[in-house]
Amino acid sequence: MTPIRLLLADDHPLIREGIRSLLSGNERLQVAGEVEDGQALIDAYKRLQPDVVLADIKMPRVTGLEALRELVKEFPNIRFVVLTMHEEREYVINALRLGASGYVMKNAERDELIKAVITVYEGGRYFSPEVANILADAVSGNATPALPEVSPREKEVLDLVAHGLSTKQVADKLGISTRTVETHRINMLKKLKVSNTAELIRKAIELNIIKL
């Protein structure tokens, strides 16, 4: 039987080593390559054409979800499994919207990880129990909106900040006061539950609120 070829993407070498160790005993699975950031994931996927991708969300340069968004344009049938510690609902929903076929927590046991890979390879979908509960709440309407409600003006401010404009430059460009710009920034920090502007920009990109 031809093995299922995997591409691993995680910025922590010990995590990748642990995943390889978990999967090494299964004859159906073969690690074809591993990378440490999203841009390398995009490049490696095009080069290796693996059967399944196992990727974290937060990685340097390009995040896992940004890489998925780019890859699905050229490879709409990509089999992509998110393997992460993040079980926040906005991440789960956004991953599915972008085309992920699976979402597994990093504390998953070996058998669960193998089942996830094989299920996705065979054309199905797989979600860790915690994630399945989140999706059940979303379907039943028992949860809050998947993505933070960011106003059009807040998006404008954030997009300009992400492109390197200072508070004064943003204010001048939008015809508002610097105090108003700062108010929008503080509101977005609260909405996206982050502590500084760099984290705000990164999370907004991950959640597809803005694009660079």
Mean pLDDT of the chain: 88
Q: Over range 40-44, report the average pLDDT.
A: 97
Question: What is the reported pLDDT for 53?
Answer: 98
Which amino acid, 167?
Answer: T
pLDDT surpassing 80 at residue 49: yes
Q: Over range 177-205, report the average pLDDT.
A: 88
> Domain boundaries in the chain?
4-140, 152-206
Between 149 and 79, name the one with better pLDDT.
Answer: 79
The highest-level CATH class for domain 4-140 is alpha beta
Chain-centroid distance, C-alpha 84? 9
The highest-level CATH class for domain 152-206 is mainly alpha
How far, in Å, are 43, 95, 149 from residue 103 at the CA level? 22, 8, 24
Summarize pLDDT for 175-188 with one digit per residue, the tens: 999 999 999 999 88
- HEC secondary structure over 175-192: CCCHHHHHHHHHHHHHHC
Q: How confident is the model at residue 144 (pLDDT cuts 50, 70, 90)?
A: very low
Would you say 64 and 57 are in contact if contact means Cβ atoms under 8 Å apart? yes
